[in-house]
Amino acid sequence: MQRKIIQPLGFALVVATASLGAFAAPANDFYVGGSVGATDYPSTVNGVGGGTSNVNGKLFGGYQLTPNVAVEAGLVELGRTRSATGSLNGYGGFVDAVGTWPLGDKWSALGRVGLASTSVRTTAGNDTGTGLKVGLGLQYALTDKVALRGEWERYDARLFGTRPHIDQYTIGLKVGF
């Protein structure tokens, strides 16, 4: 039982430490941000029927390796949902490679792939799993250092012996240093 608690906490500390390193970095390479949105659980998770969660979000930090490639890490709240069979609460941490493709002066398409540690608490038990994370989105540059993002991300971790899909839809702000 303690191992299941310590693993996500250790992963979260590593992600948070990597994200906080952005504050001591040279200008223009590092960024931080936050997003709010909703999570959809299209799959049943440990007997709890899928559904859409309440408002939730994520905090992230990243390093721009090239103008089109970045490494990003963060913490995510995957929301709470209830069904006739129980309730569910999800959260986790992630590390992604993020690619951007310019669509014009201010618009860019985003694509991401990475790993996520996802923890889920249900009325029937708790579990933590690590798995693939992918996402797509659009970004609009408000200034040289500030951008709005709209994204869809899918978390695919092994939880309770299955691989339920967890989709998060967010809108947020990215601020460069």
Q: What is the pLDDT of residues 77-96, one digit of tens each?
A: 998 888 888 888 999 999 99
Please state, in angstroms and rounded to a whole number, the distance separating the CA atoms of residues 32 and 34: 7
Three-state SS at 144: coil
CATH of 2-176, one of 3.20.20.140, 3.40.630.30, 2.40.160.20, 3.40.228.10: 2.40.160.20
Q: From CA 16, how far away is CA 9, in angstroms rounded?
A: 10
Pick from 21, 86, 81, 90: nearest CA to 57: 90
User: Cα separation of 108 and 33, whole Å?
Assistant: 17
**Residue for token digits 């609460």?**
89
User: Tokens in use for 71?
Assistant: 């490494």
Residue 176: both structure tokens together = 């460069």
The pTM score is 0.80
Q: What does the pLDDT look like over 103-160, one tens digit per residue?
A: 999 999 999 999 999 999 998 899 999 999 999 999 999 999 999 999 999 999 889 9
Average pLDDT over residues 92-103: 97
